[in-house]
Structure 1
Amino acid sequence: MRFFGLLAALLAGLLAATPALADPPLWHVRDADTEMVLFGSIHALPPGIEWRTVQLDSALENADLVAFEILTPANEAEEMEMFMPFLRYLIADRPLSEVVTAETFTRAVSAAAAQDLDVLSLQMMKPWAAALMLDMGAEEALGRSADLGVDTILEQSLAEGRRKEALDTSDLLLASMKALAEMGDDEGEAMLIEVLDGLDREELDLQIETAWAAGDIAPIEAEMRMMQEEAPRLYKALLVDRNHAWMPALTRMMDTEGRVVVVVGAAHMVGEDGLPTLLRAAGYDVEGP
């Protein structure tokens, strides 16, 4: 299920063709005195995906405020302060070797060694956390990087002193992590096995990224429908609950700002639970895909 890759971002050699002209989708939200531009991002990318456009750069240059899901910590102390509350959800009560089958654990140890990951750390993790760690490591080895992700690049490109805001609160982030942590051991092991089965791939699956960069959101819509069907609890916690929790901040911006750009994961933009749909329901004029 490709949505595991999307989770690795709540949480990121280009070997496929990229579109000749970048045209990722934008949504424009308007009322009498405010325009908000919604840009659905990809949190981790390999080199070579072209996605910046004149329209996006113009919106950013003229924005009074730029909002992201989270803001990059300013220093190591802030990073630790952000990360430490999540640790209790990652750590298991029993060693991984006692939770999963011997075969699964042996495969996980071999995969961790191939990625130069500490086996002791692997032992401490819940199965779902081990799965995400190994999947992220494999993706990074093939070139996908959060440092090349849209959110990181755009936040770093903002001039010092530009107004920016995080939509996610600590409580929202913890609720998302808790939803993952509530995954049962059997479900977690199934996720781990699926990740292990895919670790022998030699290239990244870039179908979603290349379609997104060309303005086609259909693959993201299909991925979210699959997530909703196969992991409804995670879909609700990671997408639905967060989108609804962001709405008071977005409506406040529409009431108090002139020009706003909102940069959040593209998965938050699609379907009946997406931000464009919620903003239309709130009475705003929304133009976009």
Structure 2
Amino acid sequence: MIAPVISCIGIVSALLASSAHTHPHPLKTPAISRVKKISPVKISGKKTVKPQKATVASKKKTLPEPANNNIPENTPAAATSSMVVDAHPALWMIHKNNTTIYLFGTIHMLDPRYSWFKNHVRDAFEQSSELVIETKAPPADQVQAIVSELATDKSGLPLEKRLPPALNRRVQAELAHFHIAKNSMDRFSPWFVAVTLTLLHYQKSGIKTMAGVEPVLIAQAQSEAKNIGELEDFKQQLSFLSNLSSADQISFLQSSLEEDEQSSFIIRLLIKAWAGGDEDRLANIVNQNLSQIPHLQTILLENRNRRWADWIENRLKTPGTVFMAVGAGHLGGAHSLRKILAERQIYAVRIAN
């Protein structure tokens, strides 16, 4: 279950940052910078016109694709070029009058060999004056304060007293596997333990956090002095998991540990679907896994998609071009962002690769 959460839903940026500041095995995180917060919006009730064309005009200006700095250090230089995997993720366009919103599905942890920031994706990005992402981690001191508030268990009981015996034994075995002290997770809630252990499994398997889509987009937007907006703040995103009931958090931890042995396989299935632009297949994997905890599916996918549809509907009232990047898991399935928009007669048209 946790693989779709980590790979396709934007809370990963918050979770990675929190892990980096609270765990004895720091995980690499994107560079931190200030981001403009977008105010909540209301549904306008107005309709938009379905666009007639779905193309991105190429610019004469050609910028180099960001260097891939995440290839394993022991890889011979001559072999790095042969490791590159050509990716063609899906890109959608929403257009009304003088407003264009490019809707791009991201994946937050990625095999660093994938080459994706080019062609129609890069053209759309270059045409946009604003980048909008799900969230961005605040400065480190704020991260630590928020994590202390939301990831710390308030009961005062050690972790082993809060978990079923069999689950606790599994957690202790995982901690030993990563050479982590037995009591290092005692003060944390089960959801945070689940995320930390799973991220360590991904790191061990070679899946890189900095190879994800958002760090590339953010760095490029900063270099071009584009406005960067976020749809949700750090605390709000962590709250999606911290507000789960104790029973749901234990189920979340249980399923993540059962999945960890296959986590690399699952996330690579997701990456393959994303790289091929197959968002329906990717969404099926995400929804199938999240359905194990219905509350989590509602909180992470359905409710957020409706709020983001509100934001898009409101943003279409203001002229301009926006590159909106959200987890690809939000763009397919029965409760997808695109389907909600279509119900409001706002149509996202796919741009051919």
Change (3 A) 1:175 1:111: closer
Change (3 A) 1:280 1:212: same
Cα deviation, residue 52, structure 1: 1.9
Higher helix share: 1
Deviations 1:184-208 (A, max 9, x none): 4652453254146x27x88775111
Q: Tell me how many residue pairs correspond in the alignment.
A: 281
Determine whether 1:191 maps to 2:255: yes
Q: Distance in 2 between matches of 1:204 and 1:170?
A: 26
| Contact preservation (8 Å) 1:211, 1:219 | yes
Q: Which deviates more, 17-26 or 99-108?
A: 17-26
SS at match of 2:103: strand
| 1:149 partner amino acid | G
Q: Distance in 2 between matches of 1:54 and 1:245?
A: 30
Partner residue, 1:28: 93
Determine whether 1:67 maps to 2:132: yes
Change (3 A) 1:202 1:258: closer
Q: Distance in 1 between matches of 2:212 and 2:140?
A: 20
Q: Distance in 1 between matches of 2:274 and 2:84?
A: 10
Cα deviation, residue 230, structure 1: 2.0
Partner residue, 1:80: 144
Give the alignment partner of residue 262 of structure 1, picking from 324, 338, 342. 324
Q: Distance in 1 between matches of 2:226 and 2:256?
A: 42
| Contact preservation (8 Å) 1:31, 1:285 | no
| 1:136 partner amino acid | L
SS at match of 2:161: helix
Cα deviation, residue 144, structure 1: 1.4
Cα deviation, residue 46, structure 1: 2.2
Give the alignment partner of residue 178 of structure 2, picking from 108, 115, 118. 115
Determine whether 1:137 maps to 2:135: no
Deviations 1:123-142 (A, max 9, x none): 22333332222111111111
| Contact preservation (8 Å) 1:36, 1:259 | yes
Partner residue, 2:229: 165
Cα deviation, residue 174, structure 1: 4.8
Cα deviation, residue 256, structure 1: 0.9
Aligned pairs for 1:1-289 within 5 A: 3-8=1-6, 10-11=11-12, 21-73=86-138, 75-80=139-144, 83-88=147-152, 93-158=156-221, 159=223, 161-169=225-233, 172-184=236-248, 187-188=251-252, 190-191=254-255, 193-195=257-259, 198=261, 205-227=267-289, 229-288=291-350
Q: Distance in 2 between matches of 1:244 and 1:216?
A: 22
Change (3 A) 1:63 1:226: same
Unaligned runs of 5+ in 1: none
Cα deviation, residue 257, structure 1: 3.3
Cα deviation, residue 179, structure 1: 4.1
Change (3 A) 1:25 1:105: same
| Contact preservation (8 Å) 1:62, 1:259 | yes
Cα deviation, residue 25, structure 1: 0.4
Cα deviation, residue 243, structure 1: 1.5
Q: Distance in 1 between matches of 2:322 and 2:214?
A: 15
Cα deviation, residue 31, structure 1: 1.1
Change (3 A) 1:212 1:146: same
Change (3 A) 1:183 1:25: farther
Q: Distance in 1 between matches of 2:317 and 2:249?
A: 46
Q: CA RMSD in A?
A: 3.0
| Contact preservation (8 Å) 2:111, 2:211 | yes
Q: Distance in 1 between matches of 2:313 and 2:334?
A: 18
Deviations 1:134-192 (A, max 9, x none): 11111111111221110122111212531110001467425412444544465245325
SS at match of 1:124: coil
| 1:23 partner amino acid | H
Unaligned runs of 5+ in 2: 17-70, 73-81
Cα deviation, residue 43, structure 1: 0.6
| Contact preservation (8 Å) 1:40, 1:266 | yes
SS at match of 1:256: coil
